[in-house]
Amino acid sequence: MTPANVDLVIFDCDGVLIDSELISAKILIDELANLGAVVDFEYFREQFLGRSFPKVAQTIRTTFDIELPDDFEIRYRQKLLAEFDISLQPTNGIKNILSQLGVASCVATSSSPQRVERSLSLTQLADHFGENVFTASMVQNGKPAPDLFLLVAKTLGIAPDKCLVIEDSQPGIEASYAAGMQVLHYTGGSHLRGDVAMNKGNSTGLIAFDHWSKFFELAPQLKAEKT
């Protein structure tokens, strides 16, 4: 179903606002290989995409029966942000959407506060959101639990059913549904490009779109009127 009666658009960050997931995957896969845990990109996408780092770390410990070094997370984040400084880009067309959006918007992400702050600054998206940036560190349970999205709705005073979430990951989509929110599946990030299944949506009525140029086709009422 196409979005209706939307007062707030909630954007995920990684893979939606910024094209970061291939960068994240490469850094994490390399770091795990140094510990003898060999994973490929498909494993990364199925097990780690859209989840907070504590959940990712727990999956690694349980699946591979290894104890991560105390500095593993710090080292991973340092290398990731260093690569962001060189390579990070916003997703293609997102700036046009944000500049024409006619309703309130915010960010709700599984990333750490430091990572999302750097990401939005590097891609020159920070000014679109101001203080309306919410991270998994603010709630007890990250995606796929609805906690983060419900916190957003409560803080901004918007009924959950009047919120539209834009997500790229299955945990984020599940969290949106659990929060009673509308959701669109953005599949235009480089980590999902060419995945036919991802771009078809599914039997639950979830609508997928692979380029921001299609956003206002799906939700024309969200485009600001010209003055």
Q: How many CB atoms lie within 10 A of CB 100?
A: 13
Q: Which two tokens stand for residue 200?
A: 């078809």
CA dihedral 145, 148, 151, 157 (to 10 degrees): -110
In order of 43, 47, 90, 164, 202, the CA distances from 208 in angstroms are 22, 21, 19, 13, 9
Upper half-sphere CA count for residue 78 (Cβ side, 13 Å): 6
pTM, 2 dp: 0.89
Q: Given this model, what pLDDT does residue 193 score?
A: 77
Decide yes or no: CATH 3.40.50.1000 for domain 8-19+90-222.
Answer: yes
Domain ranges in the chain? 8-19+90-222, 21-87
Residues of the chain with pLDDT under 70: 1, 194-204, 227
Q: Given this model, what pLDDT does residue 197 score?
A: 46
Q: Given this model, what pLDDT does residue 201 score?
A: 47
As its CATH architecture, domain 21-87 has Orthogonal Bundle (1.10)
Each residue's pLDDT tens digit, 78-107: 999 999 999 999 999 999 999 999 999 999
Q: Given this model, what pLDDT does residue 40 score?
A: 92
Q: Given this model, what pLDDT does residue 1 score?
A: 61
Q: Three-state SS for 190? A: coil
